[in-house]
A and B are shown apart, each in its own frame.
Chain A
Amino acid sequence: ETGVTQTPRHLVMGMTNKKSLKCEQHLGHNAMYWYKQSAKKPLELMFVYSLEERVENNSVPSRFSPECPNSSHLFLHLHTLQPEDSALYLCASSQEGRGTTLGYTFGSGTRLTVV
């Protein structure tokens, strides 16, 4: 257990379904992130939240909708996904601030399959 918990671990959904991925961090960090890792590809940063405000959105399609209700929780709402969206979705958190150099802590990920 890393201090960042993701649920569910595995998810199979149809293209017309709506589902949500949940991430919770117990580390008191002030920034949270969603990454996507497709098969045999590097991790791709999707969203960055800092102090519950979205500060970066890397041209992610609107069928992915993040939500950060507080500094400990991060959600990724999914709707009308495509099969190519099947991937490992990873959440991470960090403590950011001037001079801070600590690394990211990642969760174990949600393995998503779109059928």
Chain B
Amino acid sequence: DAKTTQPTSMDCAEGRAANLPCNHSTISGNEYVYWYRQIHSQGPQYIIHGLKNNETNEMASLIITEDRKSSTLILPHATLRDTAVYYCIVRVATGLTGGGNKLTFGTGTQLKVEL
């Protein structure tokens, strides 16, 4: 799976949009971009994923550049409860066997939402 690069930490004021960038310049055509977050000492939580098109759900929006070499996760109105480590992961969606199933986590971005 392609490697990703994220800033180590970011701050955001409550109520403002949090824009978390991710670089994945070596992404392959069949690799999806996934975002997860981990609130302190809990299990990671799936947020959103996409292949080429921008995606939106009740939690966030995912903007993927046309060349697919980078993406941005947008939390439109950040709250204190959004303070967490955010992970950007690229992964192939494959069959059951082989190494394609695995989700490999990096160090992510520590987002701190403040009053």
Q: Residues of A at under 8 Å CB distance from B?
A: 2, 4, 30-31, 33, 35, 42-43, 45, 48, 50-51, 55-56, 88, 90, 92, 94, 96-101, 103-109, 111
- B residues less than 8 Å from A48 (CB atoms): 101-102
> Closest 3 A-B residue pairs measured CB to CB?
A106-B43, A103-B46, A43-B105
Closest to A99 in B: B93
Q: Is the CB–CB distance between A90 and B96 below 8 Å?
A: no
Q: Is the CB–CB distance between A96 and B101 below 8 Å?
A: yes
Q: Is the CB–CB distance between B49 and A55 below 8 Å?
A: no
Q: With A and B bound together, what is the CA distance between A19 and B36 in angstroms?
A: 30
26 interchain pairs, CB-CB under 8 A: A31-B96, A31-B101, A33-B102, A33-B103, A42-B105, A42-B108, A43-B44, A45-B103, A50-B97, A55-B96, A55-B97, A55-B98, A88-B41, A90-B44, A94-B101, A96-B94, A96-B95, A97-B95, A98-B93, A101-B51, A103-B36, A103-B46, A104-B103, A105-B46, A106-B43, A108-B43
Closest to A106 in B: B43
Q: With A and B bound together, what is the CA distance between A71 and B96 in angstroms?
A: 13
Q: With A and B bound together, what is the CA distance between A25 and B95 in angstroms?
A: 20
A-B contact count (CB 8 A): 72
Q: Residues of B at under 8 Å CB distance from A?
A: 32, 34, 36, 41-46, 49, 51, 93-99, 101-108
- A residues less than 8 Å from B106 (CB atoms): 42
Closest to A109 in B: B43
Q: Is the CB–CB distance between A45 and B43 below 8 Å?
A: no
- B residues less than 8 Å from A56 (CB atoms): 99, 101-102
- B residues less than 8 Å from A98 (CB atoms): 93-95
Q: Is the CB–CB distance between A109 and B93 below 8 Å?
A: no
